[in-house]
A and B are shown apart, each in its own frame.
Chain A
Amino acid sequence: MALTQVRFTALNAVGLITLLSGILSFLVISQATRELGRFGATDYIGTLIVIAIVRELGPLLTALVVVGRSGTAIAAELATNQVMGEVRALESMGIDPKQYLVLPRFLGSLVSVFALLVVFDLVAIMAGFAAARFNGLPGPRYFQIVLESLTNRDVWLTVFKALAYGAIVGIVPTYFGLSVRRASTDIPIAASRAVVAALVGIFLCSALFVAIG
């Protein structure tokens, strides 16, 4: 079950994350190389890519993509389970719905957001490399600048963000999905509320990380 969730949430979203990350990073680093190069400040490209893209935008955009794709699906699927009486049927068989329905989605979301974030950051760094080369910055110099800017703290902060956002994506849509009653008209409402609540949760969490980081 958790593997199915990872396949849907992570594997099927790799293309979108790659495209988003590649374009974003290429545009930002192209502009930055040109503008900062005029002042001889190309060293700040490293800070830009580490802080702006790897540490802040990477986790945030990854979480937004996952909420948009999988948060809606999780909420709608669980709401359908509830409306069709499947949750009640599970309980009647002595199967804990939290174990059968919630846990795999929670674990799947945690793993998926983390894995997609790794993909996002790797693609961003590689797209940044392409952009830097395209604008005349030597490749070894680019990697030197990026690695000098990247600290252990940045890595850990990114990991914690991935886990926190993954937990939000796993818990919030699940809660809203299972909260519906027995009316099918509640399903789209639950999906919509789940996405809005998850987005608010992610932005609040992001603000919290900035405040404590």
Chain B
Amino acid sequence: MFDAIPISRRGPQPFSLEVAERQTIAVLGDEESGVGLLGGYALGLERPASGRALLFGTVVGGLPEPARLAYRRRVGYLPAGDGLLQNLSLRDNVALPLRFGSDANPHDIEGRVNVMLTALRISGAATLRPAQANDEERRRAALARAIAFDPALLILEQPFDRLTARVASELLEIARGGESAEGARRTIFMTGQEIPPVVLRRVDQVYRLTRAGVLELEPA
């Protein structure tokens, strides 16, 4: 997924990481560790000074703009701070990628949005604007939007901040998309400063970026 990417000025060595399909991986670190950059590199929102992000066999940074936009529709993304559009209701936020990134007709989109809102249990708050909703409802809406296309890979940035352990655990299960013999239906790559212990139990591998830039493997 990441090949020799420098993520921190303090770190002596560049960051490399392989993520297997259907795995749930967490990379933790404080703000100065550069952990917040990984999501942007994986989506091609930022280009690393050296090294490369390689997803689905594609070097993300090397894609031309139209191909990069198309690639991003294959990856679900829950940014830190939700990234919900403030002038749209939660329902319209969830529908946004489907309206602008798919050829589905409006009737199908509405159906898909209703399914997502029900699955995330925010049907009752669907007409609220983000500023009118609470942290939990916003996070649920942001996750619904991230999985609107049913992506194979989901990138989550600080996904469980200000959430209770119970809600965090529920959202992770929804993000994983259910279980099969090979593991979760989706590959999950999450970053953040801390993750609740109850959630860590469902994570296959946890990495921590230390202040010295050293990657430590923690048992899940």
Q: Which of A91, A99, A100 contacts B72 (CB 8 A)?
A: A91
Q: Which of A20-28, A40-48, A80-88, A125-133 contacts B (4 or more CB under 8 A)?
A: A80-88
Question: Complex formed: what's the CA distance from A81 to B88 in Å?
Answer: 12
List residues of chain B with CB under 8 Å of any chain A CB.
Answer: 40, 43, 45, 69-73, 77, 79-81, 83-86, 96-97, 100-101, 145
Interface residues of A in 40-90 (CB under 8 A from B): 80-81, 84-86, 88-90
Q: Which of A80, A85, A96 contacts B83 (CB 8 A)?
A: A85
Judged by a CB distance under 8 angstroms, whether A185 is at the interface is: no
Knowing A88-B79, A89-B79 are in contact, say whether A95-B97 is a contact too (CB < 8 A): yes
Judged by a CB distance under 8 angstroms, whether A152 is at the interface is: no
Judged by a CB distance under 8 angstroms, whether A93 is at the interface is: yes
Q: Could you list 16 examples of A-B contacts with CB < 8 Å? A: A80-B86, A81-B85, A86-B83, A88-B79, A89-B85, A90-B85, A91-B43, A91-B69, A92-B45, A92-B79, A93-B100, A93-B101, A94-B69, A94-B72, A95-B69, A99-B100
Counting residue pairs across A and B whose Cβ atoms lie within 8 Å, the total is 57
Instruction: Assess whether A86 is in contact with B101, with CB atoms less than 8 Å apart.
Output: no
Q: 8 tightest CB-CB pairs across the interface, nearest first?
A: A89-B83, A94-B73, A94-B72, A92-B77, A93-B97, A94-B69, A95-B100, A85-B83
**Residues on the B chain within 8 Å of A89, using CB:** 77, 79, 83-85
Instruction: Assess whether A86 is in contact with B72, with CB atoms less than 8 Å apart.
Output: no
Q: Which of B43, B85, B86 contacts A92 (CB 8 A)?
A: B43
**Residues on the B chain within 8 Å of A80, using CB:** 86
Knowing A94-B97, A94-B101, A95-B96 are in contact, say whether A84-B86 is a contact too (CB < 8 A): yes
Interface residues of A in 85-139 (CB under 8 A from B): 85-86, 88-96, 99-100
Question: Complex formed: what's the CA distance from A20 to B210 in Å?
Answer: 64
A4 to chain B: closest CB distance in Å? 9
Residue among A92, A99, A100 having the largest count of chain B Cβ atoms under 10 Å:
A92
Knowing A93-B77, A94-B70, A94-B72 are in contact, say whether A88-B97 is a contact too (CB < 8 A): no
Kindly report which residue of chain A lies nearest to residue B93, judged by CB atoms: A89
Instruction: Assess whether A92 is in contact with B100, with CB atoms less than 8 Å apart.
Output: no
A175 to chain B: closest CB distance in Å? 18
B70 to chain A: closest CB distance in Å? 6
**Residues on the B chain within 8 Å of A85, using CB:** 79-81, 83
Kindly report which residue of chain A lies nearest to residue B130, judged by CB atoms: A84
Question: Complex formed: what's the CA distance from A85 to B86 in Å?
Answer: 10
Instruction: Assess whether A92 is in contact with B96, with CB atoms less than 8 Å apart.
Output: no
A41 to chain B: closest CB distance in Å? 55
**Residues on the A chain within 8 Å of B96, using CB:** 93, 95
A43 to chain B: closest CB distance in Å? 53
Question: Complex formed: what's the CA distance from A91 to B73 in Å?
Answer: 10
Question: Complex formed: what's the CA distance from A93 to B40 in Å?
Answer: 12
Residue among B40, B71, B84, B85 having the largest count of chain A Cβ atoms under 10 Å:
B85
Kindly report which residue of chain A lies nearest to residue B102, judged by CB atoms: A94
Could you list 14 further interchain pairs (A-B, Cβ under 8 angstroms) beyond the known A91-B69, A95-B96, A96-B69? A80-B86, A84-B86, A85-B81, A86-B86, A88-B40, A89-B85, A91-B43, A92-B43, A92-B45, A93-B77, A93-B96, A94-B69, A95-B100, A100-B100
